[in-house]
């Protein structure tokens, strides 16, 4: 369930029937919950991809050993 303070927007979507019919009914989730989860996963994957693209392009001020010693 979403936090009360989270702003929402109502949208209309056209989805292929094959996608909707293929949803497992035993999960007892609404279509809204399923789409919300899919969008969260999309944003997560996109953020991970952006981080991977930055690999090797960022210079850190401290080495791994120095960071480890700060713990």
Per the domain annotation, does 13 fall within a domain? no
Give the pLDDT score at 29.
84
Mean pLDDT in residue range 19-44: 87
Residue 47 lies inside a defined structural domain of this protein:
yes
Q: What is the pLDDT of residue 62?
A: 87
pTM: 0.66
Residue 34's domain comprises 28-69
pLDDT, residue 1, reads 54
Residue 4 has pLDDT above 80, yes or no: no
Q: 28: left (phi > 0), else alpha (psi -120 to 50), else beta?
A: left
**Beta-sheet strands, E only, within 2-71:** none
Distance of alpha carbon 64 from alpha carbon 42, whole angstroms: 31
Specify if 1 maps to a domain.
no
Q: Is residue 5 part of a domain?
A: no
- Residue 51 included in any domain: yes
- In angstroms, the Cα distances linking 30 to 21, 33, 36 are 13, 5, 10
Q: What is the CA radius of gyration of the chain?
A: 20
How does the average pLDDT of the chain come out, rounded?
87
Handedness of CA 62, 64, 66, 71 (dihedral sign): positive
pLDDT (0 to 100) of residue 28: 82
């Amino acid at each position: 369930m979403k936090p009360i303070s989270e702003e929402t927007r109502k949208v209309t979507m056209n989805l292929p029937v094959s996608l909707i019919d293929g949803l497992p009914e035993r999960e007892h989730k609404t279509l809204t919950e399923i789409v919300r989860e899919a969008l969260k996963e999309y944003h997560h994957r996109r953020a991970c991809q952006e981080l991977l693209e930055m690999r090797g392009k960022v210079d850190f001020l401290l080495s791994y050993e120095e960071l480890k010693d700060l713990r």
